[in-house]
Amino acid sequence: GVRVWSESYSSIDWIHDRIKEGVRLRKLRDIPGVRGRWAKASDASQAWILVIIIGICVAMIAWFTNVVQEWLSDLKQGYCTSKWRYNRQFCCWGKAEYETCSDWRLWPEVFNVESESGVYYTAMAMYTFVGLLFSLSSALMVKYSAEKLTMQEEEEEEERHINGGGEEGKKADQTKTETKTAYYSAGSGIPEVKVILGGFVIKGFLGFKTLFVKCIGLILSTSSGLNCGKEGPFVHFACSVANIACRIFPKFNKNESKKREILSAAAASGVAVAFGAPVGGVLFSLEEVSYYFPIKTMVRSYCCAIVAAMVLKITNPFGTGKIVLFEVQYDKEYHLFELIPFLICGISAGFFGAAVTYYNIKFQHFRKRSFVGKYPVTEVMCIMILTALVSFWNPFTRLSLNDFALNLFSECSSTNDNRKLCAKTAAEIPQILSLLFAALIIKMGLTVVTFGCRVPGGVFLPGLVVGAVTGRMIGLIMQYLTLSYPEAWPFDSCAEDMISHGKCVIPGVYAIVGAAAGLTGVTRTTVSLVVIIFELTYSLTYAGPITIAVMAAKWTSDAMFPEGIYDLLIDLQQYPYLDSHKSYAHTLTIMELTEYLPTIDLDQTTTMARLTQKMNLLAGMGYGEDGGLPILSQGNILEGYIATSELSHAIEQVAHETQSYQNSLYPQNIDDTPIYFKAGQVYDRSFDATIGFSQPIQGQNDEEHAPLTIHHNASMEMLMDMFVKLGARYVCVTQSSGRFLGIVHKRRLLAYLKELEE
C-alpha cells in the first residue's frame, strides 16, 4: 500500500502491514552480493539502534524530571541560601534529617516568625501558596495544549444491517457530530498507550508538543503536593520518544505494525526508570500494556530497559547512587508465623486499592457528566486547597509521596526514626497507628479526587503509598504484640532475633508487601509487580510473603470487580479497544452483526463522481477513516476489497494526472472519468484513468485480492479469533458459493461487545 498515515481513533490493518513488510523483506533479500549483505545487516540493526537511542533519551528525561521535581517540591518548605538551585538534600549534604542545617531556611525563618502558632500557619500558608502556583501553572499548560476532536455518533444503526436493504439505505446526515476536548497531557497516559498498542490511532498523543507539555506539567503537578505520581507518565514519555525516534527509519515510520513493536519496547524503559526495575519493566509491558508482544520485541524491550536504567544510574539524580529514591534493602529472615499477617496485609491492601479504583472511577463519571468537568483549572485549584488543608496537619501526609514511601519502607535504626514512624517501646505504637490511619484515609480520599483531574500525574505511587501505609500499620501491630508478649506463642521464637537484631519484626517489610498488594488492587497486575518489588529491595528473602500477598490482593480485588483502573478508564473515555483477555457469552450471530455497506460492482462503470459519493456515504456511516469498499462481480461474488485510505490516495493521484492531461487536450469534466477495477484492465491515458487490478499490492494497486472472509453460519468465537489473533480490521461475510452478504467491521464488533458488558 501507499497510504500510511491514519486518522484519530481509526484502526490499523495488522494483516496489510505484515504483507507490506513481507514484500519489503523479499525485495531486500533479492539484492545480490556485498551490497545485499550490507543492506540486510543495516536493516537488521535499525531496531537495536532505535531502542538504544530511546533508552538514552528516556533516562535523560527521567533525570531532568527527578532533579527539578525534588528541588521544586522542597520549595514549599523553604530554600537553600548558599545555592538556590539545591533542594534540601543537596543543600544539607552529609547531615541527617533531624540535624540543624544553617544553609536551609524555612519560610517562617524568612519572615521572622517566632511564635509556635505563627510558625505553623506561616509554613502552611507558604505550602498552600507555592502548591497553588505550581498546580495552576500545570493546569493552564494542559488546558491550552488540549486538542479539539470531532466525533461522529450513529443514530439509526439498524438501517444498514443486512436486512436493511442496499447501500442507499442510510444517508450521511443520519449521524450526529460531537466535539470534545482531549487533554492529551493530563493523567498517566497508560490507558491511551494501551489503546494505541492495541491497533488504534490517537493523532498527536505521542507527539513532541504533548511530550514537552506533559514533562513540564508533571514536574509542576507532583511538586505542588497534589496526590499524584510520575511513574505512569514515564511510560507515556517513553512511547512519545519512541514515536518521534521512529521517524529516523522509514521501515518503522511507514508501518504502523512495526512501529508498535518499538512502542512496546519503549514502554518497558518507562517502567525501568520509574522503579529502577528493567526486568519488571519488560514484564509490565508484556502483562499490562502491550497487545502484540513477540519474542523479538521482548529482547528489544529488555535492551531498551537496561540502557535506560544504566544511563539513569550514571546520571545519579538523587546523589545517592539509587535510581529510585525509595530503594531499600533487607537481609533479616522472616518467621513462619508472619505468613498469616502477610496474608492479612495482602487482603487488606488489595481491598483498599480496589476501593480507591472503584470510587475514583465513580468520581470521574461525576466529573464527566457534571459542571465540574467544564472548569478543569478551577477544579485543580480546589483540589490543591483541599490537599493542603487536610494534609498539612499530619506530619506523614505533609511529606511528598516519594519521601513518605521512603520512610514507610525504611528500617528503623538508633540514629534515624524515619520521621517518627519508628517506636522504641510498645507504648509509642498506638499514637503512630492513629496518625497512620488518618494518613491512610486522607491518601485514599485525595487519590480518588485527584487522579483524573486535568494535570499530568499517575496512580502508581498513590496506590503504592496506600498499600504501604496499610502494611506499615499491620507491621506496627505485630511489633506491638511481640514487644508486649515476648514469651507467648508464637512470639517466643523471637528471642534469638531480639538478642542479635534488637527486634523481631520489621514494619518496613510489611510496608513493602502492602505496597505490592495495594498496586495489585489498583491495576490488577501480578507477576510484573512482584518482580518490580524484588528489584526495588535487591533481595529474594521476602519472595514468599510478597507473592502470597499479591495473590491474595488479586483474588480480593477481583471478587469486588474484575477490571483494573486502566481498563476502566478506557471504558470511561470510550476508547476503541479490543481486550484479548476477556471472554464473552455471545447473544448475537454473525449475520446479526453483518452490515451491508457501499460496494463496487465490476459489471458497472464506476465514475469518479460515483466513487466519491460512495466514499462520502461511508464517511457518513462513520467508516471514512478505516472502512473500505468490497469489489463484487456478477452475482455478488466477492472479488476483492479496497480500503478508503488507500482509495482516496489513489483517487487524488488519478485526479491530478487526469486533470493535467485533460487541461491540455480534452476539457472533459473529471467527475465523469471512469475508474476500472477489472482484472487485466489496461491503463489508457488517451481515454480514461484506471487503477489496475491485475498487479500485486504495490504502487497504485491497493486492492486486496483475497480479503479475509468468514462463512455466515460460522460461530462468534471464530469471528472473535479472527479479530483478536489475526488483527483484522474487517471480515467479509459470504455464503459457500462466494456470494457476498456484508461486512463485520471492528468498530461494529466493539460496539456489540460494549452492549454485551452493559
Phi, then psi, of 184 in degrees rounded to 5: -65, -25
Residues in CB range of 470: below 8 A, 6 or more apart:
345, 348, 349, 352, 440, 514, 517, 518
pLDDT mean over 67-92: 90
Global pTM reads 0.89
Q: Locate CATH 1.10.3080.10 in the chain.
A: 45-153+186-315, 336-572
**Angstrom distance (rounded) from CA 677 to CA 522:** 53
Q: What is the C-alpha separation between 546 and 517, in angstroms, rounded?
A: 8
> Residue 119: enclosing H or E segment and its boundaries?
helix 116-144
- The pLDDT value recorded for residue 683 is 43
Q: What is the pLDDT, as a whole number, of residue 701? A: 55
Please check the confidence at residue 639 and state whether its pLDDT lies above 90.
Answer: no
Class of domain 45-153+186-315 as given by CATH: mainly alpha
Where, residue-wise, is CATH 3.10.580.10 in the chain?
590-757
Protein fold of 590-757: CBS-domain (3.10.580)
Which strand ranges, in their side-by-side order, compose the sheet holding 709-711?
709-711, 730-734, 740-745
Of 719, 325, 373, 436, the residue nearest 572 (C-alpha) = 373
Q: Give which of 717, 706, 708 is closest to 590, Cα–Cα.
A: 717
DSSP per-residue letters across 134-149? HHHHHHHHHHHT-EEE
Residue-wise pLDDT tens digits, 578-624: 887 788 888 889 999 999 888 888 887 777 788 888 888 888 887 87
- Identify the three-state secondary structure at position 739: strand
Task: Give the separation between CA 29 and CA 413, rounded to whole angstroms.
Answer: 65
User: What is the structure's pLDDT at 420?
Assistant: 82
Cα separations in angstroms, 659 against 644, 667, 670: 21, 9, 7
300-329 average pLDDT score:
88
The two counts, helices (H) then strands (E), for the chain are 27, 12
DSSP string, 319-339: SSS-SSTT-----PPPPGGGH
At 321-380, the pLDDT tens digits run 788 877 787 778 888 899 999 999 999 999 999 999 999 999 999 999 999 989 999 999
Query: What is the β-pairing status of strands 175-182 and 147-154?
Result: antiparallel
**CATH architecture for segment(s) 336-572:** Orthogonal Bundle (1.10)
Once rounded to an integer, what is the mean pLDDT over residues 21-47? 92
The pLDDT score that the predictor gives to residue 318 is 84
Closest C-alpha among 447, 468, 443, 444 to residue 518: 468
User: In 3-state terms, what secondary structure has residue 631?
Assistant: strand
**Tell me: the pLDDT tens digits for 735-751?**
988 899 999 998 889 88
Which region among 126-130, 184-188, 236-240, 649-653 has the lowest average model confidence (pLDDT)?
A: 649-653
Q: Do 301 and 265 touch, CB atoms closer than 8 A?
A: yes
What is the helix (H) or strand (E) element at residue 441, kind and residue range?
Answer: helix 429-450
CA distance 236 to 548: 31
Residue 449's nearest CA partner among 554, 363, 332 is: 363
- In this predicted structure, the answer to whether residue 176 has a pLDDT above a threshold of 80 is no
Of residues 467 and 419, the one with the higher pLDDT is: 467
Largest separation between any pair of C-alpha atoms in the chain: 107
Question: Residues near 210 by Cβ (< 8 Å), separated by ≥ 6?
Answer: 145, 184, 185, 204, 240
% of residues, the chain, pLDDT over 90: 54
Cis peptide before 376 (omega within 30 of 0): no
CA distance 654 to 675: 9
Instruction: Answer yes or no: is pLDDT of 58 > 90.
Output: yes
pLDDT digits (tens, 9 = 90+) for 232-251: 999 999 999 999 999 999 99
